[in-house]
Amino acid sequence: MENKRFILLVVDGLGVGEMPDVESTRPKDRGAHTLKNILKVNPTIRLPNLRSLKIPEYFINHTFHPCTYHGFHRSLGTCALAHFGADSYMGHQEMAGSNPKKPIQQFLIDKKDDIIAILLQNGISARCVDGVIFADKMTVISDNIESDYGFNINVVGSLTDTAFDTILRIGTLVRKVVDVGRVITMGGVGICMKNVLQSLEHKKLGDKHISGINIPKLNIYNEKYRVVHLGRGISVHTQAPTIVASKGFPVILIGKAADVIRAKNAKFRPAVHTQDVLSLIIKNMKEITSGLIFANVQETDLAGHSQDVQKYSYHLELVDKAVGTILDSMNSDDVFLITGDHGNDPTIGHSFHTREYTPLILFSKYIKSQNFNTRYTLADIGASICKFFSVHPPEYGTPFCYNM
């Protein structure tokens, strides 16, 4: 087995400009450019590595200059989102090499009878309370109100009262009777009826009444947090991480990547805090000489949801600092790729993801500095990973270049 590693770092919610279909599909995202608008609002943000590599200049002014860092050539481009909307889970599935199906918009109120019926049929108690469904001891099924309404359903349970396997079983049963893009199955400590009801929010979309739990208010994003995303029309067997792992290469999934990507024989390293994720990348680079390290920095996305430019800037500064450390830890045959999964512009005027192109920033000693321009899909990342390891391609996507 060759000693070469592919390090993929996803900066969650880092977009570099609205996509052309925004005007007709998501007019609220007009003017979105996460990177440019953060730098505009906070011009003192410290990004010495990215600036020295002329990366903001490319994504803001569209000027390309060949560049190197300690012998590593820097190539740049953008990726369009082929999946519907601007969804983190779907973005990662696409990135892994899938061509996700368009989700069907459904609300809990439309499917509550089917959900309660399948739970009762399987011996799980279920009752509707104030627009949400309480199942088993303390597991709540509700509309997801952190992303586009009607395309995700949350199943969140108390790990104090219930094993995560039980919460996941409930989520799996829900998945069988709904057609939304994903059922997000979560477990956390400290969840009780009082804080669930305090975190319950009711919204109206046209003639639809939406009832959802504001997950950040539950304060479950910590080291005990567990989550599995159950997607629609996704096969892990045709995705790059599974294909690479099946050929004997180590595959390590870090941060949110450990939550949204499934791959047999992969090692999962969940983490939420940015510095923890970045430290895990360096730690695992020291432990393996070949294989795929697939990591996601999530707190940039959380800052976007909070519409907090300063907090977003802080986490972007941590990423910038880590870029130098990662490059200094690389071997001559390694490849390092930085991208995003969608945008989350904290200046746009709403707290949802923004449908934007994502950055494509690649470092390699043997791939000469080049302009990849705009790629049609994030799946080109999965295809490039498979090309790098000389394994069969994923379901979807085309490699950036053929000398990987």
- Reply yes or no on whether the pLDDT at 337 is more than 70: yes
- Are residues 118 and 89 part of one domain? no
Query: How much is the CA Rg of the chain, to the nearest whole Å?
Result: 21
pLDDT of residue 402: 65
Kindly tell me the number of DSSP H helices and DSSP E strands found in the chain.
14, 17
| Mean of pLDDT values over 224-249 | 91
- Are residues 169 and 37 part of one domain? no
Dist CA 63 CA 55 (whole Å) = 9
- Are residues 76 and 60 part of one domain? yes
- Are residues 241 and 196 part of one domain? no
- Reply yes or no on whether the pLDDT at 403 is more than 80: no
- Are residues 114 and 206 part of one domain? yes
- Range in 144-148, 175-179, 192-196, 213-217 the model is least confident about: 192-196
Contact predicate 398/372, CB 8 Å: no
pLDDT of residue 304: 97
Confidence of residue 274 (pLDDT cuts 50, 70, 90): very high
Q: Which of 231, 258, 273 is the last residue of a domain?
A: 231
- Are residues 239 and 90 part of one domain? yes
- Number of structural domains, the chain? 2
The pLDDT tens digits of the residues spanning 152-200 come to 999 999 898 889 999 999 999 999 999 998 899 999 887 877 788 888 8
- Reply yes or no on whether the pLDDT at 399 is more than 90: yes
Q: Which of 186, 215, 231 is the last residue of a domain?
A: 231
The DSSP symbol for 221 reads -
Dist CA 348 CA 345 (whole Å) = 6
The pLDDT tens digits of the residues spanning 285-305 come to 999 999 999 999 999 999 999
Indicate which CATH number applies to the domain containing 376. 3.40.720.10
199-231 as b/e: b if 16+ CB within 10 A: bbeeeeeeeeebbbbebeebebbeeebbbbbbb
- Are residues 74 and 131 part of one domain? no
Q: Which domain holds residue 360?
A: 5-101+234-388
- Are residues 352 and 278 part of one domain? yes
Q: Is 394 contained in some domain? A: no
Q: Is 395 contained in some domain? A: no
Dist CA 79 CA 354 (whole Å) = 14
Q: Is 401 contained in some domain? A: no
Contact predicate 85/148, CB 8 Å: yes
- Are residues 281 and 221 part of one domain? no
- Are residues 87 and 194 part of one domain? no
- Are residues 145 and 57 part of one domain? no
- Reply yes or no on whether the pLDDT at 220 is more than 90: no
The pLDDT tens digits of the residues spanning 21-45 come to 999 999 999 999 999 999 999 999 9
pLDDT of residue 235: 86
pLDDT of residue 374: 96
How crowded is residue 139: how many other Cβ atoms within 10 Å of its Cβ?
27
Confidence of residue 231 (pLDDT cuts 50, 70, 90): confident
Q: φ and ψ at 157, to 5 degrees?
A: -130, 160
- Are residues 339 and 361 part of one domain? yes
Give the containing element (helix H, strand E) for 335.
Answer: strand 335-339
- Reply yes or no on whether the pLDDT at 222 is more than 90: no
The pLDDT tens digits of the residues spanning 351-390 come to 999 999 999 999 999 999 999 999 999 999 999 999 999 9
Confidence of residue 47 (pLDDT cuts 50, 70, 90): very high
Note the pTM of the prediction, 2 decimals: 0.83
Q: Is 396 contained in some domain? A: no
Q: Which of 196, 231, 266 is the last residue of a domain?
A: 231
